[in-house]
Amino acid sequence: MFVLFQQAPFDPNLAQLSARLGLDGQSVVGNEVRIRMARDGHFWAQASINGIERRMLVDSGATVTALSQMTADLASVERGVGLLPVIMRTANGTVQAETATVEQLGLGSIEARNLNVVVSPALGNVDVLGMNFLSQLASWRVENRVLILVPKIADPT
C-alpha cells in the first residue's frame, strides 16, 4: 500500500505526484459525491454533460452553471433558449452570454436534467458548476478539504 500525505506549505513535487495518482479527483461514496480540494484551492468536478466528460469548477458564488463555447459545442447544447443574449457580471468583469438548457448533467451518482445554463466564449475553456445545480441537492458541505455533495432521495412513487 502506498500512502501519500501533503501538508501546507505544499511541495510542488508532491502536488504533481498527487495529480498523477488521481488524488485530486472526485470519488463517489454511496449516494454521496466527494471531491477533494485541488492544489489551487478550488474544487474541480469531473462531470458528464450530455454524455461528454468535462472538468468543471464548482463555484457556490456563481448563480447559474456556465459552459464554455467549446463544451457547449462538444455536448451539442442548443443555444438561444431565450430571445436575447444575457449580460453577466463575473469576477473578471461583464460578459455577454447565451441561455441554453443541458439535457443531462451527471456528477457521479448525481444527475440533473434540463438544467438551465449560460454559454459564453468569454469563459475560455473553463466550465462552472453553479448554484442552480448545487441548490437541487439535499445538501452540500466542505469537511477537511473535501466537498461532499448529497443528492435528494428519489421519490419511489
Q: What is the pLDDT of residues 32-57, one digit of tens each?
A: 899 999 999 999 999 999 999 999 99
Residue 91 lies in a domain: yes
The answer to whether residue 29 is domain-embedded is no
Residue 18 scores a pLDDT above 60: no
CATH number, domain with residue 49: 2.40.70.10
For position 154, what pLDDT does the model report?
Answer: 64
What is the distance between the alpha carbons of residues 30 and 38, in angstroms, rounded to a whole number?
22
**What pLDDT was estimated at residue 69?**
94
Within a domain: 124: yes
Whether 145 maps to a domain, the answer reads no
HSE, side-chain direction, 13 A CA sphere, residue 151: 16
Spell out a b/e string for 21-37, using b for 16 or more CB atoms within 10 Å of the CB, else e: eeebbbeeeeebbbbbe
Number of folded domains that form the chain: 1
Query: Which domain range does residue 66 map to?
Result: 42-138
Per-residue pLDDT tens for 63-120? 889 999 999 999 999 887 665 677 877 777 788 888 899 999 999 889 888 898 999 9
In this structure, of 87-101, 102-116, 124-138, 139-153, the range with the lowest mean pLDDT score is 87-101
